[in-house]
Structure 1
């Protein structure tokens, strides 16, 4: 039955009505036809309802898939992970599990290079590469199967991924897996002729040791990842000590890395003077940070934290570049003065330090003897053998070495004799009270005698009064640094200051 047939029946109705003889059979036929039409319309409505339900079911299935999967990579999302882990912990709450968090770093550069659409393709390929690596990792939770292959990676969104591991039988399985992924996954990926480079960083939180809720474990894993990323050689496993690294501190270190490239940092300088003739022989540089919201920050606000969290080496590299550039500027102006730079124990452990210095000396055509590196005694204690080896390499390069805060550390004299140190700096805490306290005078005299017996030059910090200067000279200390000569000022003005100082000295002679 169709609408065309119904139309013909209705069209013949007036003609049939003109024949009284055919009235009864015609009525029967019409009644049958109308019944058939009614049945057809009912069936049509039923079919339409089935089609609508089928579409709704299909749409509901699609909505269900997208609510449980990331729309970029197609991998299970955090909601899926929440469902799976809740069920797992209900079945086996006594088991030990590890949440392994993975984060792709340097992906902002990929976005800038390739654009949003292409970077999404790269992100999906990286996710697939990680999941392929997990094909034989049976300790990892399988979320689902696709084409008979297990899906064991969860995409939290953005560039963050999670793997859930059963570690009851293998305590360090998550750490081994994290190391393998960080090492093997970040191979350059070709996209439109560009080699896309990236890195993976990991953090691990263990159930139930570090938390029993998914969000708690994720927070701890994020802390471990940040700590592993900032502090060179640190474990990627969460530890309660990491709670001391507040978001404020982590943000400050992230801003410091940015400050290095955006030239928010500046160097101040304080001259070192030969106290016998008042000739400037060197100048020590101090770093300052012109923070866009916090104002001018002193080294105490960020240097120790930078050293602790592994940001100190790029910071030192920036300072060394500025210092060597100033030495070159002084040479061009026919001015002579060494520049002293403080380095940390972490700097001494970088094998690249020698290569970077050689490149700086070559670039600026500066002699290594014009640079002085100052280090504290504590820098020698962490890894003494490696520190000693690096100091000898620096000495062979021609760099002059000084030991800062001499007398406040714990280095033995026997150990100091093994080091190519040229100068020691007497801490200002001894110098300030030199002419007021017999005890301070005795301690300072003993330190100076000790240094001279080791054939070391002595630099006195914190010289503020003429009486102190004169007493130090009588005690055998010939180099001083302090407010008596100059307060710290910006390094950019050092050449002008030095010319004026020399001119003033010449007038007095």
Structure 2
């Protein structure tokens, strides 16, 4: 390609000789023609994309044509090409400088052209603007490429620096082998797993290269804190290294507690202080947090087995606990989860699942406001399990939507059976997560309502706060769509997690359930009573009915009644019962009310 351009240049240079107005080749027009040719060829070779390259070629041809003919058409063509270059350069934010240079070149070209046609300047002057355009286009391209090279080089240096710092830490295989050999000499061993947290947000804000360098620097700092004779130390590049980099955000080290029983805890707290202090990378201070798991090697296990236990300890404990000691119960929970996941794969919903009912009572009339259905799993090994004990496994097995479909269909069957008995009591079902608030599930609910001849308010959808409060605007529109399909919506477990009360008016809710943990504190905590009173007043003003859960005593019932709470649910009225007895239970409740008796 370069040979073709060079050959074309030689051909076009002969045309430039026609621009000379005298026999001497050292005239101003021939000088301009030569400068135009050189800068033109350089611009073509350095053009960043095909569009710029084509425009530069056309501009050079048109300018040489004008030098030879002084034709008005050639002037117009040159101006249009410069205008096109302005248009294409403004399309790219990274080429703002190129845009301004193109605009200046166009204005200069038009000014010199006007001066030529008004006989103020010779015909050699308008091409000077094109030469100016090519020269500065070449410089702009050069500096932009240099900037990209500097950025790439800086990134590569950061990557190499992070890689070199990580190389100064123990690799996984070296650490595992070192521990397995070390355990023969030590009878009081503890393995510690360090997991750094908060790196994901840093990676999103400043990039993964920055994150890698931060991890490497922190790893080096942590290793410096472990420089004691009680920590497993292995030689690496003629240096003693104590910390193992497992990959990602995980580190590990091993301690002999023979001389000091709690040395590992002291070291962990020192590491905690290091991690929570800002670490500077590229003049930016960044701070992470950590979780640590302690595994005591009481059974002469391998390092691989101990690491597996440490990971279980972090996975199966609350994120609030930053320091965890592995216990037998954690392994049992992990085994139970594996068993549940295995059993879910061969589950027969109709055979293994059963729905229980739990009534919600209208405080003013003692009528049943609605019936909540609760999912139970009759497990052959673990007995009858509440949904909260296997909801994570349902999600992991990808069964949230199939089970929600099954529950909603059973709820519709019960709602229809109740209506046929001329009892006006809605049925509520619980969602497992925000993934169910999708068009597919909403369409299914709408079809179920039509199929079972149910009307507005016969079915209520309940979901916990963490589902509703995490919804974007799209999710709020989904809630409105539920209401449009005559499906009532209930916000469950209010009080378990932080709540943005300002979002309540934006959610199309019919009911709000206050969690039993708040109700339990009513008799002891004045602030809790004030909080509940505020929630009730706000909900009442929005037309949302408030239900207090966990009512187990007359005292609690009296408190919420005085606060104008609409309804209550709890063991004071009934414990959850199998749904097969629902119709009989409802009839018995209504009979007691009709006889003027207290139904509970």
Superposition TM-score, scaled by structure 1 size: 0.49
Higher relative contact order (Cα pairs below 8 Å, separated by 6+ residues): 1
